[in-house]
């Protein structure tokens, strides 16, 4: 009998919003970020931030985990205990899970990470890097 494990995070997509259509199994992502999120200044508050995690489901997974978001200084920005791992299998040992944060404060430049924790075990992945880059003014004609 195999024991249940924390899933390995294959990758994470970070976007402004996402929507899952249950009848067609389509997921729509809006405002997909690259590995760097450029902001005009800090601190900033995003009205919403969505994340789609691709997980390895080749082994039996735990039923619940704690989801933690860490700031670049490793301080915990927020956590959700008792999150049910409602993973949608996609074939080939891969599954996905969606997370939605509203609002999402970004106080520091640097790497923000998502952590799945159970007891003292943690699996983490860098979600994005916040970078301050003031927007250039539009030249007048």
Closest CA to 52 of 18, 22, 82: 18
- Residue 37 to residues 52, 62, 66, 104, Cα–Cα distance (Å): 16, 32, 25, 13
pLDDT of residue 88: 67
**Taking 90 as the threshold, does the pLDDT of residue 102 lie above it?**
yes
Query: What are the boundaries of each domain within the chain?
Result: 8-132
Task: Give the Cα separation of 38 and 124 in Å (integer).
Answer: 22
pLDDT of residue 89: 63
Contact 47, 103 (CB under 8 A): yes
- What homologous superfamily does CATH list for 8-132? Macroglobulin (MG2) domain (2.60.40.1930)
Return mean pLDDT, the chain.
88
């Amino acid at each position: 009998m195999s024991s249940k494990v924390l899933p390995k995070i294959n990758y994470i997509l970070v976007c402004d919003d996402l929507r899952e259509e249950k009848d067609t199994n389509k997921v729509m992502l809006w405002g997909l970020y690259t590995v760097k999120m450029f902001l005009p200044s800090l601190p900033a508050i995003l009205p919403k931030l969505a994340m789609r995690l691709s997980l390895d489901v080749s082994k039996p997974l735990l039923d619940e985990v704690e989801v933690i978001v860490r700031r670049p200084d490793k301080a915990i920005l927020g956590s959700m205990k008792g999150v049910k791992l409602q993973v949608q299998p996609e074939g080939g040992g891969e599954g996905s899970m969606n997370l939605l944060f509203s609002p999402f404060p970004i106080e520091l430049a640097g790497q923000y990470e998502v952590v799945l924790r159970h007891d003292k075990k943690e699996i983490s992945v860098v979600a994005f890097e916040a970078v301050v880059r003031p927007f250039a003014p539009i030249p007048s004609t």
